[in-house]
Structure 1
Amino acid sequence: MSIENCARFQHYELDRLLAGLRTIEMVTFCVVHDLFLLAVLVVKLVDGIWDKTYAQNRSFVCGLPAADSKD
């Protein structure tokens, strides 16, 4: 193999490696982004359930009006 062919082959391999790294980077970014959005969704869901439960328990346990009542 001549020096030019060897250099071309190495350049080709480097391009393939960089393309693979870019793909891994994009996949990692998308996975982390989706996990973040899922975490936000879970926190909002739990917060909504907690607020609803707390409002019901507040009126039952303390004798106070529920948070959503007009009293």
Structure 2
Amino acid sequence: MSEVDGSHYRVVVNDEEQYSIWPVEQELPPGWHAEGTEGARTHCLEHIDRVWTDMRPRSVREYLSA
């Protein structure tokens, strides 16, 4: 559980490979899917900080590498 608000979160990612967190008890918004990491808000944000090293959307990265 989150040490601040008592909520449990999951890490979510969209088709552009952008990350966010979302409360576990809420349905995911369209276009987002669970990445697999769940826990306290700080745990999820620390995970995102480790794995999301290039914040440009996937389509921009692909365009610039072409």
Structure with greater helix share of residues = 1
TM-score, normalized by the shorter chain, greater than 0.5? no
Compute the TM-score of the two structures, normalised by the length of structure 1: 0.26
Structure with greater strand share of residues = 2
Compute the TM-score of the two structures, normalised by the length of structure 2: 0.27
- Structure with bigger RCO (C-alpha 8 Å, 6+ apart): 2
